[in-house]
């Protein structure tokens, strides 16, 4: 719930995709997390940012994020639903829980909001931030095409319809989410691709042993499993490191069975900069077309902030974000590209570059705040 003082007025309401528990556990590594961190830093003189989590089932309420673990300048707001989750569909909780978002205190009636979870728009009157305030709807991925939301596609479409209709402003992180907004009649979208915090990363290398090509991110259907295994087998002297949670169990066995692929598991975001120092090159082996979900890839910015030359498949936006040091090639050509980078008895050279100011999370957070105050 919101803090008990009914006169408490936050500077901003923020409705992340999941909530405080996930933000804390992962280290604010997602787009909504990075932006919430910067909102908290930017609005220090205007009250804290109230981060309103997706409601938890009543029996899970003890695991909500604690205020002491929240980013500076933010305050976690939790709530519970007394509905029981549908055991036949985990995804159904996205729309059934929306009715349990906490009531917004009257004192915060005019406080603006940033929303990443479109299901917030289906919350009842008095609980939905879309009622009578300025709202930025920030698009992460196109959930209407995302494989994870396939079982509730009709509910996703309904939530989007309500959110797009009520949002004051819409920002989109990629070409696919721009198309999503256009499909719902929003042609006033602000294009705001992903970015990074350059100062978190070091271009100093501590790589040792075999040439190391690294990937940091979720391991699932967005990745070209067949292409990854084929590339690794074509370069047996190269070590391929995958850091991230395995979302699709079918990926574990083929990756683990390839001798020069190492799965290091999920990595908290505070440890990612040091991990990147141990890589020689950054890799984005994503599917093109089928498997894309309309968003932008954060890891490309982080690889380049660490000075890593980066190889990516031609996904939407690849090579078009003002970043140097990024090679775009079809998956079938990745082994040849990597082979051309490798020299006997020498590591792949770091290639420090400049992350444009407009590609920083600070700039993107300020852009959203400017929209809300215009």
Cβ–Cβ < 8 Å for 317, 175: yes
The model's pTM: 0.94
User: Both tokens of residue 285?
Assistant: 């082996």
Q: What angle do CA 31, 21, 272 make, to 5 degrees?
A: 50
The residue that leads in pLDDT, 46 or 340, is: 340
Quick: pLDDT tens for 72-130: 999 999 998 887 776 677 888 889 999 999 999 988 889 999 999 999 999 999 999 99
Question: What rounded mean pLDDT belongs to the chain?
Answer: 92
DSSP string spanning 297-365?
-HHHHHHHHTT-EEEE---TTTT-SS-SSEEE--GGGHHHHHHHH-BTTBPPPP---PPPGGGBHHHHH
User: Both tokens of residue 98?
Assistant: 């929306």
Burial 249-270 (b: 16+ CB within 10 A, else e): eebeeebeebeebebeeebebe
Quick: pLDDT tens for 21-59: 999 999 999 999 999 999 999 987 667 999 999 999 877
Phi first, then psi, for residue 240 (nearest 5°) are: -110, 120
- Express as a percent the part of the chain with pLDDT over 70: 93
**What pLDDT is attached to residue 89?**
74
Separation between Cα atoms, residue 81 and residue 100, nearest integer Å? 5
Separation between Cα atoms, residue 196 and residue 194, nearest integer Å? 7
């Amino acid at each position: 719930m919101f803090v008990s003082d009914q006169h408490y007025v936050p500077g901003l309401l923020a409705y992340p995709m999941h909530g405080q528990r996930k933000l804390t556990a992962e280290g604010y590594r997602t787009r909504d997390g990075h932006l919430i961190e910067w909102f908290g830093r930017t609005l220090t003189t205007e009250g804290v940012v109230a981060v309103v989590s997706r409601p938890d089932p009543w029996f899970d309420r003890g695991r909500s994020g604690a205020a002491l673990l929240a980013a500076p300048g933010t305050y976690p707001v939790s709530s519970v639903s007394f509905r029981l989750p549908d055991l036949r569909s985990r995804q159904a909780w996205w729309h059934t829980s929306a009715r349990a978002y906490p009531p917004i205190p009257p004192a915060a009636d005019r406080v603006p909001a940033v929303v990443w979870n479109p299901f917030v728009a289906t919350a009842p009157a008095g609980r939905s931030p879309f009622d009578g305030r300025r709202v930025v709807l920030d698009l992460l991925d196109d959930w209407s095409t995302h494989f994870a939301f396939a079982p509730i596609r009709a509910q996703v479409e309904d939530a989007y319809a309500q959110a797009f209709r009520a949002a004051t402003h819409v920002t989109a992180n990629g070409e696919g989410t721009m198309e999503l907004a256009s499909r719902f009649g929003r042609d006033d979208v602000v294009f705001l691709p992903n970015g990074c915090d350059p100062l978190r990363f070091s271009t100093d290398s501590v790589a040792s042993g075999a040439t190391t090509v690294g990937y940091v991110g979720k391991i699932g259907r967005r990745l070209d499993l067949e292409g990854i295994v084929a590339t690794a087998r074509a370069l047996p002297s190269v070590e391929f490191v995958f850091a991230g949670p395995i979302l699709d169990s079918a990926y574990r066995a083929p990756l683990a069975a390839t001798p020069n692929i190492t799965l290091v598991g999920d990595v908290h975001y505070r440890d990612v900069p040091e991990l990147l120092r141990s890589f020689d090159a950054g890799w984005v082996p994503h599917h093109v077309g089928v498997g894309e979900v309309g968003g932008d890839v954060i890891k490309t910015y982080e690889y380049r902030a660490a000075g890593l030359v980066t190889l990516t498949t031609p996904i939407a936006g690849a090579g078009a974000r003002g970043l140097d040091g990024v090679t775009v090639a079809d998956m079938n050509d990745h082994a040849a590209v990597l082979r051309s980078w490798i020299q006997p008895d020498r590591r792949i050279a770091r290639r420090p570059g400049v992350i444009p100011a407009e590609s920083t999370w600070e700039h993107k957070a300020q852009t959203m705040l400017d929209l809300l105050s215009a």
